[in-house]
A = this chain, B = another copy of it.
Amino acid sequence: MARPRIAVVAVGGNALTREGEAGTYAQQWRNATKVAGAICRLVEAGYRPVLIHGNGPQVGNLSIQQEEGSRLVPAQPLAELVAMTQGAIGHLLSLALHHASTGTLGVVDIVTHVEVKSSDPAFRNPTKPIGPFLAEDVAGKLAAERDWVVREDAGRGFRRVVASPEPKAILEAAAIKELASKGFLVIAGGGGGIPVVRRGRSVSGVDAVIDKDLTAARLATSVGADTLVFLTGASNVFLDWGTPRQRAVAEMTAAEAEAHIADGQFAAGSMGPKIIAAVRFLADGGQQCLITSSRHLAAALAGSHGTRIVPTAGRMPASRRSAAAQ
Contacts and interface: CB of A to CB of B under 8 A. Distances in A.
A74 B25 contact: yes
A203 interface: yes
A179 B99 CA distance: 25
- By DSSP majority rule, is chain A's interface helix, strand, loop, or mixed? mixed
Given A65-B65, A178-B184, 16 more contacts: A61-B73, A65-B68, A65-B69, A67-B69, A72-B132, A80-B91, A84-B88, A94-B111, A95-B113, A95-B202, A95-B203, A95-B205, A98-B202, A99-B203, A175-B182, A175-B184
A83 B68 CA distance: 21
A74 B24 CA distance: 6
A69 B132 CA distance: 11
Most buried by B among A22, A92, A178, A196: A178
Contacts of A85: 84, 87
Given A25-B76, A172-B108, A175-B179, A113 B94 contact: yes
B64 A92 contact: no
Contact of A108 (B24, B95, B175, B196): B175
A103 interface: yes
A171 B99 CA distance: 13
Given A83-B88, A85-B87, A22 B201 contact: no
Interface string A57-101: 000011011111101111111011001111110111011001100
Interface string A94-120: 110011001100101111010000000
A80 B25 contact: yes
A77 B87 CA distance: 13
A76 B71 CA distance: 20
Contact of A73 (B65, B86, B184): B65
16 contacts: A22-B73, A23-B73, A25-B76, A25-B80, A61-B73, A64-B72, A65-B72, A83-B90, A87-B90, A91-B205, A95-B205, A98-B171, A98-B202, A98-B203, A108-B175, A178-B184
B80 A92 contact: yes
Chain A contact patch, size range: 35 or more
A121 to B, nearest CB: 25
A139 to B, nearest CB: 17
Interface in A29-73: 61-62, 64-69, 71-73
B73 A83 contact: no
Contacts of A179: 175, 178-179
Most buried by B among A22, A83, A85, A90: A83
A174 interface: yes
